[in-house]
Structure 1
Amino acid sequence: MVLKDTTISLMNSLGTQRIPFLFIISYDGKDCIVEPLNKIKTDEIKYNFNGVSNQLTQPSPSVLQIEAHPLSFEQYQKKFDIVKHELQIGNTYLTNLTVETPLTTDNTLEEIYNTAKAKYKLWVKGQFTCFSPEIFVQIKDNAIYSYPMKGTIKADIPNASEILLNDKKETAEHYTIVDLIRNDLNIVSKKVRVNRFRYLDKLETSKGPILQMSSEIAGELTPEWHNEIGTIFHKLLPAGSITGSPKESTMRIINESEQYNRKYYTGICGIYDGNSIDSAVMIRYIEQQGNQYVYKSGGGITSSSTASSEYEELLQKIYIPS
């Protein structure tokens, strides 16, 4: 991914002046929105990142009725087989394969945004809404933190936590992504370390509670990091958790197997408040395409993955957290 020089310069300039701003960056870096917080119009963009929001009042939630029309298993298997072949010949160790699923709903993107519950929520008029649980990076007190999420299971399954923590496929995937994120943070910071490894969070979804496995990785920055915000994100993107490892060859495999434009899906969004940064990976995402809505979802493919289980996982991820 190559961020435009103008985007990098603008983010660096705003940071140097300590001007709070919102940034939204697409998966490929070609589309970016960078706007000082005091210039954002709430009829065009709404955000709520860990309680930091540009909405003075919270609208009443809507009753959401959404029907998914997923691709067939046979269609998914063709994409999966491309990735599996690349895994077998050693061109990738982990590939995040995603698809788009058409939706039928009477709800608007704004109604979905207002009703969904998530750490990070974003609505861009006429384009998409996102309700993500996944932190990309946080920067505070001259330190940078990342919390890669890999591994989920339905929380109501007996012994769910033990099953997830002992799942060989999920464990291998988590090790791979933690190693990748460590390497990414080493590019922009020093003394990188894993503070917490494979801890579990419980998330409430419209399909019932799930357990999500994460780790915490941290590195040290110089006090001048404010002047280099655009440069830092340029070096880190795209997010390792939604590409795979090794990143460059895996991105080629993603393009070949997915055959669609992710656009802002799996990009990142965040806020610089003049002192710190809080940012998210844009997963759990619904996009407007003309008069049609599509939900984009997927998961990590490793050598031990099976097409049937991965197909079920991407369907399981089509939900609105409530």
Structure 2
Amino acid sequence: RVYQINLTQNFKFHSKMDSFELFKLLLSRQDTEFKAFIKDETREILSFSPELFFKTKKRKIFTKPMKGTIKRDKDHIKDEENKIFLQNDTKNLSENVMICDLLRNDLSKIITKKSLKTKLFEIQSHPTLHQMTSSVQGKLKKNISLYQIFKALFPCGSITGAPKLESIKFIEELEQRDRGIYCGTIGLIHKNKNKFSVAIRTLEKQDEIYTYSTGSGLVWDSKFKDEFEELKLK
């Protein structure tokens, strides 16, 4: 049914700690580019996402899907070895390419012909892990609205799988729960530019109960132990 699917699991814990104090504490340990704290009448969201969903400036659109993870090591030599392994591991490379192909297909609905550009297999290093990203960008067709962008791209392929629609159906069958804000998007809209993250590494609090979700991408040759270790790492 699918070539790749992103399955997730949620974990719940109780805490009376002030959510913004927790946000600051976690931020001091793992600062990320797309951090966000949101509070409304019903819930609080603490997001430490490292992944860009998309950003636009005038008619340019840029996406940066993330697929491929390995832990960091305190030993510098071993840490570099882990990084090199990630850069050359066929499973992670193939997963990354699948998601990039999916994003290219989604973007083709809203960008001009011949404007599509791709840069594959960049490594981003964070305090506890290395992650592989790729960049896909293009020039939006004239008069494309933010609604049309979301209609073409949402949800991000990196947290569904490929093909996207079949993966979403499969996820609904297997997970049988609402992911909440997790794997959705958080962003800013400002005049002629927008920026949205993929809401991973995100805590959601309701009535003193925190929910944290994490997952990993599965393909036909995935090894259970490796995927479970990746889930714990995240």
Using the size of structure 1 for normalisation, the TM-score is: 0.65
Partner of 1:243 in structure 2? 160
1:198 counterpart = 2:121:
yes
Aligned pair partner of 1:217 in 107, 123, 136? 136
Aligned pair partner of 1:171 in 84, 90, 93? 93
Q: CA deviation at 1:105?
A: 4.5
Partner of 1:257 in structure 2? 174
Q: In the TM superposition, what whole-angstrom CA distance separates every residue of 1:85-104 from its partner, at most 9, and x where no partner exists? A: xxxxxx00110100101235
Q: CA deviation at 1:130?
A: 1.1
**Equivalent AA in structure 2 for residue 197 of structure 1:** L
Q: CA deviation at 1:146?
A: 0.5
**Equivalent AA in structure 2 for residue 270 of structure 1:** G
1:183 counterpart = 2:105:
yes
1:97 counterpart = 2:7:
yes
Q: Which range moves more in the overlay, 157-166 or 308-317?
A: 157-166
Q: Is the 1:182–1:192 contact (alpha carbons within 8 Å) kept by the matching residues of 2? A: no
Q: State the distance in 2 between where 1:127 and 1:182 align.
A: 34
1:119 counterpart = 2:33:
yes
Which runs of at least 4 in structure 1 moved beyond 6 Å after TM superposition?
A: none
Determine what percentage of the aligned residue pairs are the same residue: 34
Three-state SS of the structure 2 residue aligned to 1:153 is strand
Q: Is the 2:117–2:138 contact (alpha carbons within 8 Å) kept by the matching residues of 1? A: no
Which structure's CA Rg is the greater one?
1
Q: State the distance in 2 between where 1:170 and 1:106 align.
A: 39
Q: Is the 1:185–1:192 contact (alpha carbons within 8 Å) kept by the matching residues of 2? A: no
Q: CA deviation at 1:316?
A: 0.9
Higher relative contact order (CA 8 A, sep 6+): 2
Q: State the distance in 1 between where 2:229 and 2:178 align.
A: 22
**Equivalent AA in structure 1 for residue 224 of structure 2:** A
Partner of 2:205 in structure 1? 288
Q: Which range moves more in the overlay, 115-124 or 146-155?
A: 115-124
Q: State the distance in 1 between where 2:231 and 2:21 align.
A: 24
Partner of 1:22 in structure 2? none
Q: Is the 2:69–2:86 contact (alpha carbons within 8 Å) kept by the matching residues of 1? A: yes
Root mean square deviation of aligned Cα? 1.7
Q: State the distance in 2 between where 1:127 and 1:178 align.
A: 32
Q: In the TM superposition, what whole-angstrom CA distance separates every residue of 1:230-285 from its partner, at most 9, and x where no partner exists? A: 22212211111110101111111111111221011100121121021111110001
Q: Is the 1:118–1:133 contact (alpha carbons within 8 Å) kept by the matching residues of 2? A: yes
Q: CA deviation at 1:141?
A: 3.9
In the TM superposition, what are the counterparts of 1:1-322 in structure 2 within 5 Å? 91-105=1-15, 107-115=17-25, 116=27, 117-125=31-39, 126-156=43-73, 157-158=78-79, 159-190=81-112, 191-204=114-127, 209-225=128-144, 228-317=145-234
**Equivalent AA in structure 2 for residue 173 of structure 1:** E
Three-state SS of the structure 2 residue aligned to 1:266 is coil
Q: CA deviation at 1:214?
A: 0.6
**Equivalent AA in structure 2 for residue 213 of structure 1:** M
Q: Is the 1:153–1:211 contact (alpha carbons within 8 Å) kept by the matching residues of 2? A: yes
Q: Is the 2:110–2:141 contact (alpha carbons within 8 Å) kept by the matching residues of 1? A: no
Q: Is the 1:120–1:132 contact (alpha carbons within 8 Å) kept by the matching residues of 2? A: yes
CA pair 186-102 structure 1, distance change in 2 beyond 3 A: same
Q: State the distance in 2 between where 1:275 and 1:104 align.
A: 41
CA pair 189-151 structure 1, distance change in 2 beyond 3 A: same
Consecutive unaligned residues of structure 2, counting only runs of 5 or more, are: none
